[in-house]
Structure 1
């Protein structure tokens, strides 16, 4: 490890006159491709352009070619994006498909990418019948199949800050998801001949199957991850732990892994008598195969192609620096697919690589391995900071220290051991299994330590999603820091970056603007009230995915919807969680959310603890030391300029929907009435107790069921706005047409999560505006 680091830190960024155009050329390619994506994308990268031209100062004679280079990539990018259209109209019920990629199996569903006869890529999805034989599933690929099913467009994100599956598939030129009606009949599937790349992908699948045969069960996920770049078997909790510790990059095949593989092959071939010239030829042939076998992710392609470029130019006696090699691979990847620019792995891979290479001549020299790793980690963290905050809204503090231990462990021990054991398995499987038991014990201990360390508070700092302008500021400050590091000036630029981070962190918690967000949790309720200047954060209900019959729904609303929304807003704690009643679609996300957010206290409806689902939840909340209170009306409290009143229920007997906690609030210049699942009987009692009850905004009870929102209730409350929280295309057909008609007849403005996605009322002082994810007139 010391030899490799010493070699790396001795690299000097020399300037070869013949290759001087490459670095500014890569930046101009970035400029053109970024503007092809959008105007804001082009402006975001402006600090990079300025920094590059100040640093490299290209001669005037190549300025015009560089400008033409940017124009070419702009036109090329626009043409590429405009050509990504579908040949299908969505009405097709039967499709002949070419299935090449291995199936990804998740619980009772399986999916794969396929091609139509016209060469258009689509995502295929089908549901696996109970006890479907594994060999029957495996026989589907590779083959040509004709299946019946339904085409549907991928769903866009229905909430702010969530993963946009539609955008992800569009970057892969996929416009449709084809849900197969039945896979019982395989008579229409016939084997097909494969291209070289498809054969390599199939070999990769066979290699992962071999891992399952030769390694102990608990070692298989990390072996697949490090050998083949597949993390699909990794436990979600463990992945989250590695992410919080800032070492998740070690579980993906990256430049460090590729460099280690090249070093091992180089030494091995030299020791068996192969000449250096033949070693280079061998690497040129083997590295593309290795990239394909490991999934061809952007970091792998970047590392492999950079090494190939260095080897090639060395063989033809041309001077090329590592920075220039990296720029060549960058240009090639944009030529292959300009859309790769929007991939997070691509952004992180190149940003971190550029940061390390630019810092290598001066800052990264170190007298010890640990200090060298600490410097590399610092540079990588600073360089990747704008990307991490924009996409993940947080940064790991622990990563500065955990990498000191994890990087040597993975590169010196774990990765070489797995390679050796895997190749040994071709000669003696019994010995391989016996030796892997020791490695399994070490990995199990490492996983336990990782889970323990990740549980500490402040392992990560959540900032919230920065604005585009703030991203530009972070990029500029990061580049400024690297510029001064070359001059051995550390304190002032680091202080500037620290000030920007502090201001950003505080602004997310003490914003002048408040918000009431109706989160789209599908068929359920979840309403986030975030008051300005840190005056209070309240959450009414947490949704919950409902199972039907024997279905087992593993989807976690708290973890996969509510927490990302909170994190994107920079919110990590909830002052009060109000669970209106005990139905699963209102409390189901609570426990999972409590694992991420700091919940100060929980309110439940009197007597609801007798319900089994509530009782189980309370047991887990007790283990987390979260206080729970049964509350009943009347109760009032204030928070800043906002006033809250618990209006219902008034007794301790729990009867279900009609004992929902009902809260009235004066927030942002409007009166709000949150009714949970209150039905006609509860509405009548509420009107009787509060004859002058009124509100500007009414959260419609029970998702717009016909048993709620009576004519009399609407007349008395007399709202200007009504909001219904219900799942799109839900099984209950909520909201009921009668309820919608009553609302529309009274000319009340109606919003619904089923049609508008998340609904956000943003306010400052007494003025505010409603905003929806989808346009008001529909999706």
Structure 2
């Protein structure tokens, strides 16, 4: 009964904590964008991230009594330089707008809203004016705390480590201080590609190196072990802050601190599992959503496996760590590299005995920095070489049921009872899940919510053929000054490629770029870095444009895979009937590619930004042309969707792709009036998010929208 009572109290307390946390997060959230003026932010120098003309940082909003994620666009290059040299915590006066971040509008799109909640942040601030207060002014609003001084010191350490040669600088900043430097992005991407990210999730191992080094140093100085334990008890919490309070570092520091605390005050030892469980509970009480962080998932899970397998030989242990990491990695990244299975056997001890010591020693002993950097350079070159091998399996995103099932089966196999039978079940379910993901039973057309742009995916069942029409792209109106250029990923990578990889698709059979406008082709080069393109079709004449040649040079596609088309050159490509262009042009709106195709008994038409004159020419040439699902041209602009065109096609449904609150006023009222006149129901990506159209055998067409308020239509 006492055990049952204790468990009951724990469960009730946990539910109360989670409820109170959620209530607080909801109370803080600002749903509608709200303008604020003359407010104050406490800005920490170690949290500033600068990308071109964009400044990103989390800060404490004094009036709002909460931590917020902030964004500010520099007005001048001199202003940018001031923030590059910023190294002291201070208060800033600002004006701008505040609201909670938008939730994802496409399937499997990165959920920035949930990501911020793992840091106890619910609102973002877009700053229009930002001015640092004088010290004597700031002290009346906010007094510097111990935390502020530690953060300032962390900034000093980051700058110090940043001056070291790469890759030692990048490894030391990441592993010792939890800071991700954009200059170090390539090695991290390679490590991720090889499936070795779990090593960094276990990066708390350097805490044990530091403890071991301090104990050795104190012993050499004839200082008692007890004094060293007391010293560590005081220093470890400070180091957690210096290390950026990452999930893995918090776990390592808190576990080490608790073990020391119990040894000093209770003269007892405690099991690693008990300590890890207690630390996990504390972290969940502090921020429940931290468990949805991939780093936290890998860190706690793999640390548990290390604890229960202390006596297992390194080869067996490496294989176990790999097996447990696969479900988590696939759930988050959708890919697995076959080399990981073999690398993990030798990489864990190599990482533990060579890489980590090189990082720690190189950072704290400049005399040995060159040698340590050479070791890390060799390590990085080996990783780069291995990553070039074509052994990455684009598995796709497994349903949560399978992720949980695999982890449960792996844990059951630890008991060694029927372990072989369990491994057979594990293998069968793994293959079965891959088949489900990669071979859909239905045809599908997906209209991505790509902002003010266009991109449509056509998947024939069993992935018989994969076709993409346009890639979207962001039209920028800023000048091309070098200091303003950003390195952020495009929607082609974060939305289109991400979705394709989540479905186990790493290759597109056909890519149609309807015309030259950036909002249709701007993401094309970046998309090809993630997804292989077999054949690229462009309107005849566009292939000779300088703008297209520039984009082609930035892509991974050779010119011999580019096919200029018109109805003269080809009347059909696979299931696609070419409707336009008629003659060679210059890739302008009036030269747009237009195609029709059928899936089961449902007919579709997509026509880029083809204008009304072009639409009329199409229906005059193709007398029997009709469409059940019509993709409205030019984002609903009044220059497209002629009344004669709609009347002739007699669509049962229309899809509009337009950006939210776009500056062009798309879709225009004239276009919507035309659709209403002919009683054509429509849905807009700006309101519905991603739109999926699934033809069925019984002549029904299922239309699904990602945003719930639009639901499902038939």
Q: TM-score, normalised by structure 2?
A: 0.90
Shift of 1:619: 4.0
Alpha-carbon spacing, 1:776–1:322, altered in 2? closer, same or farther (3 Å): closer
**Alpha-carbon distance in structure 1 between the residues aligned to 2:356 and 2:590:** 59
Is 2:472 the counterpart of 1:539?
no
**Alpha-carbon distance in structure 2 between the residues aligned to 1:477 and 1:724:** 46
Shift of 1:438: 4.5
Aligned residue in 2 for 1:259: 208
1:295-314 correspondence to structure 2 within 5 Å: 295-314=244-263
Preserved contact between residue 677 and residue 701 of structure 1 (Cα < 8 Å): yes
Alpha-carbon spacing, 1:247–1:625, altered in 2? closer, same or farther (3 Å): farther
Preserved contact between residue 599 and residue 626 of structure 1 (Cα < 8 Å): no
Alpha-carbon spacing, 1:148–1:774, altered in 2? closer, same or farther (3 Å): same
Task: Give the secondary-structure state (helix, strand or coil) at the position aligned to 2:70.
Answer: strand
Alpha-carbon spacing, 1:494–1:267, altered in 2? closer, same or farther (3 Å): farther
Structure 2, unaligned stretches of length 5 or more? Answer: none
Question: Which stretch has the larger CA shift, 697-706 or 725-734?
Answer: 725-734
Shift of 1:199: 2.4
Alpha-carbon spacing, 1:539–1:606, altered in 2? closer, same or farther (3 Å): same
Shift of 1:698: 0.7
Aligned residue in 1 for 2:19: 78
Preserved contact between residue 125 and residue 178 of structure 1 (Cα < 8 Å): yes
1:758-769 correspondence to structure 2 within 5 Å: 758-765=690-697, 766-769=699-702
Task: Give the secondary-structure state (helix, strand or coil) at the position aligned to 1:375.
Answer: helix
Is 2:447 the counterpart of 1:518?
yes
Q: 1:282 aligns with which of 214, 231, 235?
A: 231
Alpha-carbon spacing, 1:625–1:684, altered in 2? closer, same or farther (3 Å): closer
Preserved contact between residue 637 and residue 645 of structure 1 (Cα < 8 Å): yes
Shift of 1:334: 2.1
Task: Give the secondary-structure state (helix, strand or coil) at the position aligned to 2:500.
Answer: helix
**Alpha-carbon distance in structure 2 between the residues aligned to 1:234 and 1:174:** 26
Preserved contact between residue 358 and residue 375 of structure 2 (Cα < 8 Å): no
Preserved contact between residue 393 and residue 567 of structure 1 (Cα < 8 Å): yes
Aligned residue in 2 for 1:528: 457
1:390-539 correspondence to structure 2 within 5 Å: 390-424=331-365, 432=367, 435-459=368-392, 461-484=393-416, 491-539=420-468
Alpha-carbon spacing, 1:179–1:353, altered in 2? closer, same or farther (3 Å): same
- 1:321-377 Cα deviation digits (max 9, x unpaired): 11111112122222323232322222221111122323335xx2x2xxxxx0x3333
**Alpha-carbon distance in structure 1 between the residues aligned to 2:346 and 2:553:** 37
- 1:193-239 Cα deviation digits (max 9, x unpaired): 332233222221121012234x1355432221122111133443432
- 1:370-399 Cα deviation digits (max 9, x unpaired): xx0x33332222223332222222333222
Q: 1:377 aligns with which of 318, 337, 340?
A: 318
Shift of 1:635: 2.8
Preserved contact between residue 37 and residue 96 of structure 2 (Cα < 8 Å): yes
RMSD in angstroms over aligned alpha carbons?
Answer: 2.7
Shift of 1:187: 6.0
Q: 2:43 aligns with which of 71, 92, 100?
A: 100
Shift of 1:100: 3.4
Alpha-carbon spacing, 1:602–1:151, altered in 2? closer, same or farther (3 Å): same
Preserved contact between residue 95 and residue 116 of structure 1 (Cα < 8 Å): no
Task: Give the secondary-structure state (helix, strand or coil) at the position aligned to 1:64.
Answer: helix
1:149-168 correspondence to structure 2 within 5 Å: 149-168=96-115
- 1:462-489 Cα deviation digits (max 9, x unpaired): 22222232233222222222232xx5x6
1:555-566 correspondence to structure 2 within 5 Å: 555-566=489-500
Aligned residue in 1 for 2:537: 603
Preserved contact between residue 602 and residue 626 of structure 1 (Cα < 8 Å): no
Structure 1, unaligned stretches of length 5 or more? Answer: 1-59, 367-371, 426-431
Task: Give the secondary-structure state (helix, strand or coil) at the position aligned to 1:600.
Answer: strand
Alpha-carbon spacing, 1:237–1:723, altered in 2? closer, same or farther (3 Å): farther
Preserved contact between residue 581 and residue 591 of structure 2 (Cα < 8 Å): yes
Aligned residue in 1 for 2:193: 244
Alpha-carbon spacing, 1:442–1:318, altered in 2? closer, same or farther (3 Å): closer
Q: 1:196 aligns with which of 146, 152, 175?
A: 146
Preserved contact between residue 100 and residue 198 of structure 1 (Cα < 8 Å): no
Alpha-carbon spacing, 1:625–1:632, altered in 2? closer, same or farther (3 Å): closer
- 1:548-569 Cα deviation digits (max 9, x unpaired): 2415464423222211111122
Aligned residue in 2 for 1:674: 606
Preserved contact between residue 668 and residue 768 of structure 1 (Cα < 8 Å): no
Is 2:629 the counterpart of 1:697?
yes
Shift of 1:96: 2.2
Task: Give the secondary-structure state (helix, strand or coil) at the position aligned to 1:581.
Answer: coil
1:57-68 correspondence to structure 2 within 5 Å: 61-68=2-9
- 1:673-717 Cα deviation digits (max 9, x unpaired): 011111112112101101222111111111122211112111111
1:626-641 correspondence to structure 2 within 5 Å: 627-633=561-567, 634-636=570-572
Shift of 1:283: 1.9
Question: Which stretch has the larger CA shift, 679-688 or 352-361?
Answer: 352-361
Task: Give the secondary-structure state (helix, strand or coil) at the position aligned to 1:144.
Answer: strand
**Alpha-carbon distance in structure 1 between the residues aligned to 2:208 and 2:252:** 8
Shift of 1:597: 1.8
Preserved contact between residue 637 and residue 644 of structure 1 (Cα < 8 Å): yes
Aligned residue in 2 for 1:51: none
Alpha-carbon spacing, 1:236–1:217, altered in 2? closer, same or farther (3 Å): closer
Preserved contact between residue 529 and residue 556 of structure 2 (Cα < 8 Å): no
Task: Give the secondary-structure state (helix, strand or coil) at the position aligned to 2:512.
Answer: strand
Q: 2:71 aligns with which of 103, 109, 125?
A: 125
Q: 2:291 aligns with which of 322, 333, 341?
A: 341
Task: Give the secondary-structure state (helix, strand or coil) at the position aligned to 2:181.
Answer: coil
Alpha-carbon spacing, 1:753–1:402, altered in 2? closer, same or farther (3 Å): same
Q: 1:225 aligns with which of 169, 174, 185?
A: 174
Task: Give the secondary-structure state (helix, strand or coil) at the position aligned to 1:378.
Answer: helix
Task: Give the secondary-structure state (helix, strand or coil) at the position aligned to 1:181.
Answer: strand
1:137-176 correspondence to structure 2 within 5 Å: 138-139=85-86, 142-176=89-123
